[in-house]
Amino acid sequence: MRAATVPAGGGLDKITLVEREPGAPGPGQVQVRWRATSLNFHDYLVAAGQIPVQDGRIPMSDGAGEITAVGEGVADWQIGDHVMSTFFPFWQGGAPTLHKLMGVAGETVDGFAIEASNVDANTLTGIPAGYSFAEAATLPCAALTAWRALVEEGGLQPGQSVLVEGSGGMSVFALQMAKAAGATVIATTSSDDKADRLRELGADHVVNYKTDERWGKTAGKLVRSGVDLVLDVGGGATIKQSTEAVAIGGSIILIGILGGRDGTITFPKYFFKQASMIGIAVGSHEMQRRMVRGIDVAGLKPVIDRRFPLEALGEAFAYQISGAHFGKIVVEY
């Protein structure tokens, strides 16, 4: 079985294919023939050496595939079931704790850029009805983050407004989910072509954050009294404008650092707006199962921009970091 590995220190051109045989699954484990993974910014940081990993680490936190063998004591899964991974293998439900946030695949343990491996049965969930493996592989990180921001933390109600930033994987899911929930959605992008695609997906308003430096203020005015829920992915580059956009009593969900790890905020603006700010890291297995039910009911399908074979994983990362993509990039095997 082929696997892609990253050397200590990273390097997109140093990703190497190796052979690994998983053996039989142990008690409580299942064997999965993984068929697809999808790229997240976190995976890029691992592959590029910006998150240090053990030499020969198999990258990728997302995986979807089919169960091919079942270990002793496993009652929940059968051979042939289609499954997907969870970002935090120990976070079944409830509030996060340090232990529940350990063991992220593709970082501290091997991930899913491998054709087959044995995993603990309780780290998997089912996939939405009618989903291909490639579609399911887009969900565990990006879609669950969007779902948690909007539904689990944001408590989004029909008629409210949402601001999504850029046209990357997480933000496009957030746009689709927010529209399905009956919200008014404002999207930002740096590209006029992508603006058209965001409108096709249902964005009510699109603002170009490159040509309109005060895009946060513009977004707030588009819905008259400010945006109820802002999903911030730019970090240092966007937090100031996210603050301009948010409504009195609204919320900013801190998700990404695409534009920088540090930034400044104007405190009186927060006091006046009485806005809340919460950081999130993906979500629990319970949230993932609720998301699958939500996707089933809404009939939502992911936007897959491009597909690469396993041997082209480095190329896939280079494409991701070029920023040319719209939605998700998938690797199939």
Ligand X SMILES: NC(=O)c1ccc[n+]([C@@H]2O[C@H](COP(=O)([O-])OP(=O)(O)OC[C@H]3O[C@@H](n4cnc5c(N)ncnc54)[C@H](OP(=O)(O)O)[C@@H]3O)[C@@H](O)[C@H]2O)c1
* Residue ranges in contact with ligand X by CB under 6 A: 40-42, 141-142, 145, 165-171, 188-191, 194, 209, 233-234, 237-238, 255-259, 280-282, 320, 323
Could you identify the residue written with the tokens 């997302």?
62
Q: Which is nearer to ligand X, 85 or 145 (CB)?
A: 145
Q: How far apart are CA 144 and CA 74, in angstroms?
A: 25
Q: Which is nearer to ligand X, 49 or 56 (CB)?
A: 49
Long-range (24+ apart) CB contacts under 8 A made by 277-280 are 277/251, 277/252, 278/153, 278/251, 278/252, 278/253, 278/254, 279/253, 279/254, 279/255, 280/145, 280/148, 280/149, 280/153, 280/253, 280/254, 280/255
Least distance in angstroms from the C-beta of 21 to ligand X:
32
Least distance in angstroms from the C-beta of 194 to ligand X:
5
Q: How far apart are CA 105 and CA 172, in angstroms?
A: 24
Size of the chain, expressed as the number of residues it contains: 333
Least distance in angstroms from the C-beta of 284 to ligand X:
12
Least distance in angstroms from the C-beta of 197 to ligand X:
9
Least distance in angstroms from the C-beta of 221 to ligand X:
19
Least distance in angstroms from the C-beta of 329 to ligand X:
8
Phi, psi of 34 (to 5 degrees): -70, 140
Q: Which is nearer to ligand X, 250 or 302 (CB)?
A: 302
Q: Which is nearer to ligand X, 121 or 144 (CB)?
A: 144
Q: Which is nearer to ligand X, 31 or 145 (CB)?
A: 145
In the complex, residue closest to ligand X by CB: 168
Phi, psi of 287 (to 5 degrees): -60, -40
Q: Which is nearer to ligand X, 27 or 279 (CB)?
A: 279
